[in-house]
Amino acid sequence: MTPQAEPAPRRRAWLALLPLVAFLALAALFMTQLMSGKDNSVVPSALIGAQAPSTDLPPLDGVGLPGLASSAFAGKVTLVNVWASWCAPCRQEHPLLMGLSADKRIVVAGLNYKDTPENARRFLGSLGNPFAAIGVDATGSTTIDWGVYGVPETFLVGKNGRILYKHVGPFTPESIRDDLMPQIEKALAG
């Protein structure tokens, strides 16, 4: 018999280190992404620069506002906010939408997503109504056309009916100041 004990332990030691090496590689990849400074609320949209999807949603009953129709975008800079009463981040950003609605240069429109009319009215009754029009998408089919991932999401539609900007998640004062307002100013100038 010839001794062959030497190669086997070396190979086993290398195989034992393989999970650690894989873990360290993944950790380095995740750390690189975290430290990149990339804003995760910016989700690329194929609709940027494209005509806003054809939309004709019924109004929210009992509010006295028109529904949401793409024909209403013509000649106006419109902010379309996708929201729902059951959405906690929507509640968080709502005061900021109230502030934006005071800017008479733009129209703030709401797209109510998979909500009950009673809950939507109660939400607006307790927090205020920033919207000039509210369309109800009870089934969620229109939000699919808009490429919505979840609520809240907001789209800036230019005077020509094209989508100029998309924000995923709730607005913050910083995102409005640094991202949205420059886009609104550019849309108003163009």
What are the residue ranges of helices labelled H in the chain? 7-35, 88-101, 117-127, 141-146, 173-175, 181-189
CA contacts within 13 A on the Cβ side of 158: 17
Amino acid identity, position 81: N
In a domain, 37, yes or no: no
Smallest CA-to-CA distance from 99 within 108, 90, 89, 111 is with 108
In a domain, 26, yes or no: no
In a domain, 28, yes or no: no
Confidence at 12, pLDDT banded by 50, 70, 90: confident
In a domain, 132, yes or no: yes
169 and 92 Cβ atoms separated by less than 8 Å: no
Give this prediction's pTM.
0.78
Amino acid identity, position 125: G
| pLDDT of amino acid 38 | 57
Give the dihedral sign, CA 140/137/86/46: positive
In a domain, 46, yes or no: no
pLDDT mean across residues, the chain = 90
Identify the domain containing residue 61 by its residue range: 56-189
| pLDDT of amino acid 133 | 98
Smallest CA-to-CA distance from 179 within 70, 68, 43 is with 43
In a domain, 12, yes or no: no
Whether cis (ω within 30° of 0) applies to the bond prior to 182 is no
- pLDDT tens, 31-79? 777 776 655 545 567 789 999 999 999 999 999 999 999 999 999 999 9
| pLDDT of amino acid 21 | 79
- pLDDT tens, 114-133? 999 999 999 999 999 999 99
In a domain, 148, yes or no: yes
Domain count, the chain: 1
> The domain spanning residue 116 has which CATH number?
3.40.30.10
163 and 49 Cβ atoms separated by less than 8 Å: yes
How far apart, in whole angstroms, are the C-alpha atoms of residue 147 and residue 157?
14
In a domain, 19, yes or no: no
